[in-house]
Structure formats: C-alpha cells, structure tokens
Amino acid sequence: MSTLRFQAIKETFGRKPIIVNEPERRSEIFGKNVFNETAMRQYLTKDSFKSVMDATVNGSKIDRNIADHVSTGMKDWAITRGATHYTHWFQPLTGSTAEKHDAFFETVGDGLAIEKFEGGQLVQQEPDASSFPNGGIRNTFEARGYTAWDPTSPAFIYGTTLCIPTVFVAYTGEALDNKTPLLRSLQVLDTAATAVAKYFDKNVTKTIATLGWEQEYFLIDKALASSRQDISLTGRTLLGHSSAKGQQLDDHYFGSIPSRALDYMRDLETECMYLGIPVKTRHNEVAPNQFELAPIFEEANLAVDHNSLLMDVMEKVADRHHFKVLFHEKPFAGVNGSGKHNNWSLSTNTGINLLSPGKTPKRSLQFLTFFVNTIKAVNEHEELLRAAIASANNDHRLGANEAPPAIISVFIGSQLTKTLDELEKVTNGKLSPEEKTELKLNVVGKIPEILLDNTDRNRTSPFAFTGNKFEFRAVGSTANCANPMTVLNAIVAKQLIEFKKSVDALIVDKKMKKDDAIFNILREYIKDSKRIRFEGDGYGEAWEKEAKKRGLSNNKSTPEALKAKVSKKTIALYEDLNIMSKVEIEARYEIKVEEYVMRIQIESRVLGDIARNHVIPTAIKYQNILIENVQGLKVIYGEDFRKLAKEQMELIEQISEHIAKINRGITNMINERKKANVLESTEKRAAAYCDKVKPYFEEIRYHCDKLELLVDDELWPLTKYREMLFLK
C-alpha cells in the first residue's frame, strides 16, 4: 500500500468524535452574533433605528449623518461581542463569498490609538477588485468596482470580524456580483405581485419572495480526502472503482446518523444559531456519507446570504472535526450526487402565502392566480431556468437517473391537475351566475387548504409544487441560489405584469367583472402552458421523446444550455424589467462559459497526472511481480510452466492492454486540449472541451478502474471508495 494511502487510513482509526457542548436552548443563542432588531434597539438612537428599519423594509436611502450613528452603534455592539475587524462581505461572480478585513483600530498620534468605524466605511468601500471575474465589464469601461451596504441583510459577526453584507458594483453602475441582480429582481417582483394581490385584498402593499434551500453534502474524513489529488483539486473523484456495497440497500437514507457526523452537525448548528441561520432539519441522504441540512425559509435575499455563509461555516467546522465536506454535485461515481432544492413562494405584508390554497373561494382564486401564473412563466422561460442551473458539475447529475432530467417540466399532483382541467372548460367571455357559483364552490372552493400531505411526491420532477410552494429541484449543491432565484423572480414578475394588463383590459374594454376577467385569462394560460406540465416519470426515455414532441428544450451539456442566458428573449426580459443590462448579461455568460472550460481543463490535467504517475507505474509494478512469478515457475517446472502460469500470463497481457489504452487515451486527450486551447472564442473552446476532451474521461477511467480490480490491493496508491465512504 502506498505510504499516503496507508497513513491516511491509519489516521482515521484514532479518530474520536469531538463532542461539543450544545447550549441548552437554541432559542437563547439564536441571532446573538447578528446586528438584528434587538441589537439595534440597544445600540442605535431612535432616529437611526427607524432609518435602518425603513431601509430594510422599504428600501429607503440612509443619509450620511445617520450612517455615522449606525456605524458607531454597530461597532460598539461588535466590540462587546469580541470583534476586532470589519469587512464588506459580498458574493463575486465566482459564486463563493469574498471579504477583506480591516481593523477598527486607528492611531491618533502620541502613541495613542482608538477604535473607529465611520459611516463612510459602513456604506461604501473599494476593494481591490481586479482579481474578481468581471466578464470584461471593467475592461470595457475601465471602471473600478465598489461595495455598498445592503441594509436588507443584517450585519453579523463571523469569528472576530464584523461582516457587512454588500453589493459589488462597477463605478459605471454594472453589477459585478450575484446579489445586485437578485435584489433588483425582488424589487420588480414585489411591485408586480403586489399589484395582482390587490385584486384580492386592497391591504396588500408589499410582497416578498421566500426561499428555503435544502443543502446536500458529503462528509469524508479529512486524511482520506487529502490523500486523493482528484478530491483536493477538483472536489470529486475522477477515478475509483465502485465499492462492492454501494447504496443499493438504501440503508443510509433517513437512517441513524453516524456519531462522528452527528457531532459535526451539532457543532455546525450551534454556529448557525449564533449567526441567525435558522437551520432546522438534518438527516442522512441516499448515498453513504451523504447528508442534508435545511433551514426554516426566509426572505429570499437573506436566505441566499445565509446559504452562502452556511457553506463557508460548514467547511470551517468540518476542519475541526477532521472532515472534508464535499459540496460537489457528483463526488463519487455510482452513488447519488448532491443537489440544493430551492423551495420558493411569495408572501404578502398581510401574512398570506400566495401559493397556499386558502379557506375561502376568494383566497383559492388568489392562490390559483399565482399558481397558474408561475406555471405559465416556467413554460415561457423553461430554457432560461435550465441555463440557470447549468454547470460542469451539475451535468453529471441532471438526467443521470438520480436527479431531475435536463428537461424542465412542472409537477403539480393529481388533485390540482383536476382543478386546472375543470378551469380549462370555463366559458369564453362573461360567466353565467350558475357557472360562477359552480366554479367558486365546486372547483376553486374544493381545493383543500392543506394540500401539503396530498401532493403526491414525484422526485423525478425538476420543478414541483409541494403544497404551498414550488420546489426547484434541479439546482446543484455548489450553486449560489442567487442565480436560479433571480431567474424565477424575473420570469414570474414579467408574467404577473402581463396578467394584470390582460385582466385590466377585459375589465375596461369588455366591461367584465373582475372575477370573470381573471377566470378568462387563467383559462387561456392553462391552455397555453399545458406542455410544461408533466406528472410521469422524468427519468424515463419515453419522457425525452414526449418532451421533444412538446417542443421543450433538452440541453444536456452546459455549453449548450448556457446559450439561453444570452438569447434575445432573455436580454429583452432582463432589460424590460431593469434587472440587468445587455453588458451585465453577457458578462455573466462569458464568466460561466470560461468557468466551464477551466473546470474541464483542470479535471483533464488531474486525471492525466493520476493515471500516468500513479496508476500506470503501479500496474507495471504488479505486472513485474507476475512476470517474476512466471519466470520462477519456468525455472522450477521447465516447459511445463505454460500450464501452471496460464492465468498469470493472461493477467500480464490484460494489464498491458489497459496500460496501452490509458496511455493512448491520455495522449489523445492532451492533443484535443491543445486544439481546444488555441480556439479564439470562449464559446468554441467550451464546446471543444465538452465534445472532444471530456469523452476521454470515461474511457481513461474505465481502464484505470479495471486495473484497480486487478492489481494487488497492497500496491494500489489511491484511497479506495470503500475506504472513504461508510462512516461509522
């Protein structure tokens, strides 16, 4: 056994669970490190408190004077909680989070120093941002970037640093981050949804989008993970034969949580409590060593921040527990990968979940309005939704019989299907009193308030209605939720704007009653968006054929899928709603395509290295042992050796064949890489990496994995699947 593999395995034997003292009551520590309402009441003057609350709720501006008060209060609070530094915390287009720490400390001459943090430092900063990806925005405009305080997401203390959530924008106004477009989309959605909600209740003045994400991940012992170059450098195993036992017994899902993992989770959850991340659910997932964590849902911007922060906290806490947490969408072949379901809904200032069927016919009609509009929006923009979740990692998952396919469809369950079928029959034009009563009482009125337990579960659907929310299930586990949420908010906002226009037109031009007008438009929408509704098995081949007939897109690879991000339709959508300009859209596309190329390029290099430097030399070593054995047999038995050494000689040949195929595969793959690298356009490069380079991964891996089975276990250099998975 290689020293590295041996050491790594040995190290895990001594591992003891790290027991962390949990506080008696989580509610007592919840939000302790967040500059929330309670902290603000204590540390801010009445005026600045009101000002911040107004900015939080209504998005009003905070003037410089007030900002000085706020920063002082924030600093004083932070210092009492042990903070020494502050940072503008933002989400650059790399998808992770970024921070640069500055001390509160300032010298004031005569060897004296004070703690200082001014309004200006709170409101705006200029990080040296030249190393963040910008998709050419800053080259085009020669502009610098700045970060600006987002008061809708509260400041928090992370370690000893006060973190101020910010947006990251170029001086020319283009967004250089994920948060800015998200905030813009939430604003547009608020306006559009509120206008429609007013049909049903005049008291609605604000609508927010809510998000509850479910984060899946793997926990691998740190020593084992770092003994493998592929995991360290790419986050996944590029080779490795499946363990004899995988997930076929399904004995892990919802099973009792292994004690080391449970101690990790408890520690993690405690950290989350201090940070105000309302995590609630934890359980084993389907694959061995795979787990899930879900919070109570929150306003979408805050939920996105919390998910980004969580992923960072998870890595840090994992380190303490000698784990490496793998967020990769497909870290191990042959076992399920990880996703991040995004549960999404709309909620009004009057406390109503607009996607929750209500008690009264009026509430039910409101529900149907938002429900059908969302379905219509997905129908119109299915390709953009697919693009929003596209990544090299997620390609392994989508359509791999464990995750939703690359085809976007909507699942609503049999009960709501029946309701929509009924509604489709509504008379064209004004409704008769009888029909209205029938509709209100027997169709709309019959939607039970609690569908939650009635909506059949269809795990194969990428976009499912689950009782009082839609669940976008195709999102990858490494994804920043801002992207898919921006798309969803934008398309639903656009749809609601159109809906309102059409309904108003019927009311004004055709003198229809409001309800009649709504029924009429909904009927058309139900008809128009029938093709997107699918209740069957999303994994099946039959669905691929059917979806094609229906004209739904089926973009299997990332380079193909990403194109929808810059289609005319998408640009029109974002520009009309003032969510992103063409430059901002194109920059994001460019970054995604580049990222794809880099990922495949790195994987290709790492695979080549491991196969040539570890696998082939090991195979040769074992082959030499076999050769020695054959020679020895010949010495002892003379010409009779042929019979006795038959199997060994076959093995020797097999090993040579595998080595040859691996070596040839790598040479060809490198040649394809060279060809791809000289292509001028990033788009063409991405296509070449996808279609010409990537196919070699499977081929090379196949032969390496065969060798893993042939070669003496003692010699094999790489930690094996069975050693990494199956945590006790």
In this structure, what are the phi and psi dihedrals at residue 412, rounded to the nearest 5 degrees?
-125, -5
Q: Which helix (H) or strand (E) holds 514?
A: helix 514-528
Minimum separation from the CB atom of position 470 to ligand ADP (A): 9
Q: Judging by DSSP bridges, how do beta strands 85-89 and 161-170 pair with one another?
A: parallel
State which of residues 184, 266, 306, 469 lies at the interface with ligand ADP (CB under 6 A).
469
The answer to whether 349 contacts ligand ADP (rule: CB under 6 A) is: no
281 binds ligand ADP (CB under 6 A): yes
- Which CB, 214 or 305, lies closer to Mg ion? 214
Residue 297 within binding range of ligand ADP, rule CB under 6 A? yes
Residue 542 touches which member of ligand ADP, Mg ion, none, C-beta under 5-8 Å by kind? none
| DSSP, residue by residue, 445-490 | TTS-S--TTTSPP-TT-SEEE-SSSEEE---BTT--THHHHHHHHH
Beta strands 323-326 and 340-348 are unpaired
Is residue 340 within the footprint of Mg ion (CB under 5 A)?
Answer: no
Burial of 296 (0-12, 13-18, 19+ CB in 10 A): exposed
Secondary element (H or E) of residue 525: helix 514-528
Q: Using CB under 6 A, pick the residue from 152, 343, 529, 623 that binds ligand ADP.
A: 343
Q: Which is nearer to Mg ion, 357 or 462 (CB)?
A: 462
Which partner in Mg ion, ligand ADP, none is near 432 (CB below 5 to 8 A by kind)?
none
> Taking contact as CB under 6 A, which single stretch among the options 28-36, 339-347, 542-550, 690-698 is the one that binds ligand ADP?
339-347
CB of 666 to ligand ADP, least distance (A): 42
What's the rounded Cα separation, in Å, for the pair 198 and 193? Answer: 9
CA distance 701 to 596: 20
Instruction: Please report whether residue 469 would count as binding Mg ion according to CB under 5 A.
Output: no
Is residue 341 near Mg ion by the rule CB under 5 A? yes
Residue 133 tokens, joined: 């990806």
From ligand ADP, Mg ion, none, which one binds at residue 117 (CB under 5 to 8 Å depending on kind)? none
DSSP 613: I
Task: Please tell me the distance from the alpha carbon of residue 521 to that of residue 611, in angstroms, as a whole number.
Answer: 60
Our CB check for ligand ADP shows the closer of 296 and 508 to be: 296
Residue with smallest beta-carbon separation from ligand ADP: 212
Q: Return the residues of window 208-247 that contact ligand ADP according to CB under 6 A.
A: 210-212, 214
The interface region with ligand ADP, picked from 49-57, 342-350, 568-576, 615-623 by CB under 6 A, is 342-350
Residue 63 · residue 102 · CB < 8 Å: no
CB of 389 to Mg ion, least distance (A): 15
**Least distance between ligand ADP and beta carbon 338 (Å):** 13
Of 124, 140, 353, 668, the residue at the interface with ligand ADP (CB under 6 A) is 353
Minimum distance from CB of 328 to ligand ADP (Å)? 20
What is the x/- site pattern for Mg ion, positions 182-221, by CB under 5 A?
Answer: --------------------------------x-------
Kindly give, in sequence order, each residue whose CB lies less than 8 Å from that of residue 724, ignoring residues fewer than 6 positions away. 220, 221, 224, 225, 228, 289, 332
Nearest approach, Cβ of residue 355 and ligand ADP (Å)? 7
Token output for 227: 């003994």
Q: Per CB under 6 A, which region of 295-303, 476-484, 533-541, 696-704 contacts ligand ADP?
A: 295-303
| Rounded alpha-carbon distances, angstroms, from residue 390 to 4, 30, 329, 503, 577 | 35, 35, 11, 35, 23
Q: What are the b/e assignments for 436-462, b being 16+ CB within 10 Å? A: bebbbeebbbebeeebeeebeebebbb
Task: Provide the minimum distance between the beta carbon of 209 and ligand ADP in the complex, in angstroms, as a whole number.
Answer: 8
Please say whether the beta carbons of 338 and 290 come within 8 A.
Answer: yes
**CB 493 → ligand ADP: shortest distance, Å?**
17
Reduce the DSSP state of residue 342 to 3 states and report it.
strand
Which residue, 78 or 294, has its beta carbon nearer to Mg ion? 294
Is 295 a residue that touches ligand ADP (CB under 6 A)? Answer: yes
Q: Which is nearer to Mg ion, 341 or 592 (CB)?
A: 341
Binders of ligand ADP in range 181-210 (CB under 6 A)? 210
- The residue (of 341 and 588) whose beta carbon lies closer to Mg ion is 341
Q: To the nearest whole angstrom, how small is the minimum distance from the Cβ of residue 3 to Mg ion?
A: 43
The region, left, alpha or beta by phi > 0 then psi within -120 to 50, assigned to residue 477 is alpha
Residue at token pair 């987002």: 150
The three-point CA angle 677-680-686 to 5° equals 60
Radius of gyration of the chain (CA): 29
* 100, HSE (Cβ side, Cα atoms, 13 Å): 11
Pick between residue 236 and residue 469 the one whose CB is nearest to ligand ADP: 469
**Which of positions 131-160 make contact with ligand ADP (CB under 6 A)?**
none
Query: Binder to ligand ADP among 72, 369, 468, 529 (CB under 6 A)?
Result: 468
10 or 459: whose CB is closer to Mg ion?
459
By a kind-dependent CB cut-off of 5 to 8 A, residue 281 interacts, out of Mg ion, ligand ADP, none, with ligand ADP
**Binding region for Mg ion (CB under 5 A):** 214, 341
**Binding region for ligand ADP (CB under 6 A):** 210-212, 214, 281, 294-297, 341, 343-345, 353, 468-469
